[in-house]
Amino acid sequence: MPYFFKICLIGDFAVGKTSLARRFLYNEYQADYQATIGVNISKKEIHLTDPIPAQVTLVIWDLAGGEPFTPIVEAYYRGAAGALFVADITRPATVEHLSQYIEEFRLVNPDAEAVVLLNKVDLLSAHAVEAFDQETLREKLGTPIFLTSARTGYNVENAFLSLARRLLEKTNHA
Amino acid sequence: MPEDVLTIEMFCRLLQCVFLVGDENLTVVQATVPEWVGRPVEEVLPFLQGMEDILRDLAHRRIPTMHMPHVSADDLPHPLSGYVDVYMSPCSTRQGFIIVIRENAAAAHVIRELTQQRNELALLREQLEAANRRLRELDEERSFLIAMINHDIRAPLATITTGLSYLLEVEKESLSEEHRRILEMSLQAAQNATNLANRILQVERTHHLNQRHKLEPIDLIALLRSVLNQYRDMAEEQNISLFLETTHPEITDFPLIWGNWQSLREAFANLVENAIKYNVPGGEVRIAICPSEQGISVTIQDTGIGIALEDREQIFLPFHRGRRPRTERPGTGLGLYITRQVIKQHQGDIHIESELHKGTTIYIWLPLEPPETAEAKQGTKGSEHVCQDKRPIDWKTFQGYAEGG
């Protein structure tokens, strides 16, 4: 049985949402920053074996970053089964804003799944990554956290697949 | 045909857009493209896959009209491409919904450019704020270091200097030649270190000149006279004559400048000290001061060893000391740096001319107006007002002035 899930990429501007989407969709990376307006919608079909064998189509809504929560943004969020909340690990303010994005998203989709991606991890030293307090952030946000790098591809697929598995599991339980 | 669909059809003829009407089963019942009729909505508009619940809610009027501007997708329905605006609304005359998709590439292009610029500016602002934060941290670290120098280094150095001076004086008779030499070397080293610590504190003071120090009207002649008096003994020891001269007819009516007495005095003291220290026995130091409408020029001319051409560019950099032959004289390499900082903070200017084995001349210009006002009013740098008038001055009029006459 095929599954379709609308998922959103949400976060501040220039945190790498579009780069993450492109890495996941086409396994490519573009270094130049190109601002997104409105929403870019793309699809990717994946085959999961866990929790059940299934063909899943992720309809990925890559939203413009840093927009205030208006009825238009609410319209973009509507119908999403889950979201990837993205922050730039080198810009603390973008991490701080995550809780607000999650809260606004849950106002529209109370039961949606969420995962957090701390992107651009390649720009930090191994020591700085180790020193980053993931546990406290995880407790605060109540979501799984993935350290990712759209540039190197590190952990990008894992993050998307993790969300897809959670959505599939939830749908099956329902 | 329902009235609202008719309206939309008319609208679609005017603008580049398509529309469809879907029923509660998400099947197209009416559309701009006749082939769409009878097919599932998510098949003709695949970018809306995953939105089935929303479409059903619209069909049953559980949610109001939705507007989604600037949507781009790989699978937009023909003939649309690029960016589109999507309007989704419950159908007013039947159980269903209407979707209108309007191409909006031109406006989207402009908005995208503006957004790009806005975001890039915001990123730059973030970077600037981060750099400012780092600078503040560094400034705090520097203040801590300065406080440490002031408290933990100068005080022990004073104790060491006093102790060594005492030993050299009191135990003068009992000390062997070697022991005396060792003590003298130690005393010299302690004095040099004290001098360096004092200079570093001077640098710190110049950094905070405008914040901490009150500006006041200053009589430069009185200030220079006080500096010359300070160095009179040093000059006599080296058999060097000091002169203070001016072309101004009335020394009692000399124009005042706005500045900080302590900082300016330190700046001129550094220059006079250098002019004596790097002079030759029997030499001269002449200070000429000439007022003009906008400022005062001071020239300090010595007959000393001069500064090599290759050192002249770097002479105002911190910790720079000339390679030859100035290295024979003790110093910290901070004096001229401090002097230039002080002059700059007074919106003045300083430059140097020198010839090896003939002497050095320092030209300084200081504005008459308070520093902030002068800059704002003139909108120019002080360098345009540097006095480079090298005409002979009537020296004899002011002989003996250095002694306070």
> In the predicted model, what is the mean pLDDT of residues B389-403?
39
Which homologous superfamily does the CATH classification assign to the domain defined by A2-173? P-loop containing nucleotide triphosphate hydrolases (3.40.50.300)
**ipTM of the shown complex:** 0.91
Residue B393, pLDDT > 60, answer no
- Residue B210: what pLDDT? 57
Mean confidence (pLDDT) of chain B: 82
CB contact under 8 A, B119 and A35: yes
**Three-state DSSP state, B37:** coil
Residue B200, pLDDT > 70, answer yes
> In the predicted model, what is the mean pLDDT of residues A147-160?
97
CB contact under 8 A, B119 and A13: yes
> In the predicted model, what is the mean pLDDT of residues B371-384?
43
Residue B337, pLDDT > 50, answer yes
Residue A80, pLDDT > 50, answer yes
- B170: closest CA among B185, B188, B183? B183
Tell me the one-letter amino acid at B20. L
Instruction: Render the burial of A92-117: b for 16+ CB within 10 Å, e for the rest.
Output: eebbebbbebbeebeebbeebbbbbb
Give the pLDDT confidence of B74-127 residue by residue, as tens digits: 888 888 888 999 999 998 877 899 999 998 888 899 999 999 999 999 999 999
CA dihedral B199, B201, B206, B211 (to 10 degrees): -170
Give the pLDDT confidence of A42-76 residue by residue, as tens digits: 999 999 998 889 999 999 999 999 899 999 999 99
Q: Which one-letter DSSP state was computed for residue A116?
A: E
Nearest CA in chain A to B123: A14
CB contact under 8 A, B63 and A65: no
CB contact under 8 A, A14 and B108: no
What residues have CB less than 8 Å from B204, skipping those under 6 apart?
B142, B143, B146
Q: Distance (Å, rounded) from C-alpha B236 to C-alpha A86? A: 75
> In the predicted model, what is the mean pLDDT of residues B143-155?
81
- Residue B331: what pLDDT? 65
How many angstroms separate the CA of residue A163 from the nearest CA in chain B?
A: 15
Tell me the one-letter amino acid at A6. K
Give the pLDDT confidence of B277-325 residue by residue, as tens digits: 999 999 999 999 988 778 899 999 999 988 888 877 778 887 666 655 4
> In the predicted model, what is the mean pLDDT of residues B322-346?
72
How many angstroms separate the CA of residue B67 from the nearest CA in chain A?
A: 6
Of the pLDDT bands very low, low, confident and very high (cuts 50, 70, 90), residue B391 is: very low
How many angstroms separate the CA of residue B125 from the nearest CA in chain A?
A: 12
- Residue B205: what pLDDT? 73
Q: At what angle do helices A98-108 and A134-141 cross, to 10 degrees?
A: 30
- Residue B399: what pLDDT? 39
Mean confidence (pLDDT) of chain A: 94
* Beta carbons of A60 and A5 less than 8 angstroms apart: no
- Residue B168: what pLDDT? 92
Of the pLDDT bands very low, low, confident and very high (cuts 50, 70, 90), residue B5 is: low
Residue A75, chain B, CB below 8 Å: the answer is: yes
Cβ-based contacts under 8 A for chains A and B:
85
CB contact under 8 A, A39 and B83: no
Q: Distance (Å, rounded) from C-alpha B155 to C-alpha B153? A: 6
3-state helix, strand, coil in chain A (%, to 5): 40, 25, 35
Residue B224, pLDDT > 90, answer yes
CB contact under 8 A, B67 and A72: yes
Identify from A37, A43, A67 which residue to disrupt to test chain B contact, counting B C-beta atoms within 10 A and taking the largest count.
A37
How many angstroms separate the CA of residue A20 from the nearest CA in chain B?
A: 17
Which homologous superfamily does the CATH classification assign to the domain defined by B215-403? Histidine kinase-like ATPase, C-terminal domain (3.30.565.10)
> In the predicted model, what is the mean pLDDT of residues B154-163?
90
Residue A166, pLDDT > 70, answer yes
For tokens 């009407």, name the residue. B21
SS3 sequence, B259-306? ECHHHHHHHHHHHHHHHHHCCCCCCEEEEEEEECCCEEEEEEEECCCC
- Residue B379: what pLDDT? 41
B118 neighbourhood in chain A, CB within 8 Å: 35
Among residues of chain B, what percentage have pLDDT more than 90? 40
> In the predicted model, what is the mean pLDDT of residues B144-163?
85
Among residues of chain A, what percentage have pLDDT more than 70? 100
- Kindly report the CATH number that applies to the domain delimited by B3-103: 3.30.450.20
How many angstroms separate the CA of residue A144 from the nearest CA in chain B?
A: 23
Q: Distance (Å, rounded) from C-alpha B129 to C-alpha B126? A: 5
- Residue B388: what pLDDT? 39
- B156: closest CA among B195, B133, B190? B190
Name the residue ranges covered by the structural domains of chain B. 3-103, 109-205, 215-403
Of the pLDDT bands very low, low, confident and very high (cuts 50, 70, 90), residue B382 is: very low
B49 neighbourhood in chain A, CB within 8 Å: 4, 6, 43, 57, 59
Rounded to a whole number of angstroms, the CA Rg of chain A reads 15
Among residues of chain B, what percentage have pLDDT more than 70? 81
Do β-strands A82-88 and A113-119 pair in parallel, antiparallel, or remain unpaired? parallel
* Beta carbons of B387 and B299 less than 8 angstroms apart: yes
- Residue A20: what pLDDT? 98
Of the pLDDT bands very low, low, confident and very high (cuts 50, 70, 90), residue B272 is: very high
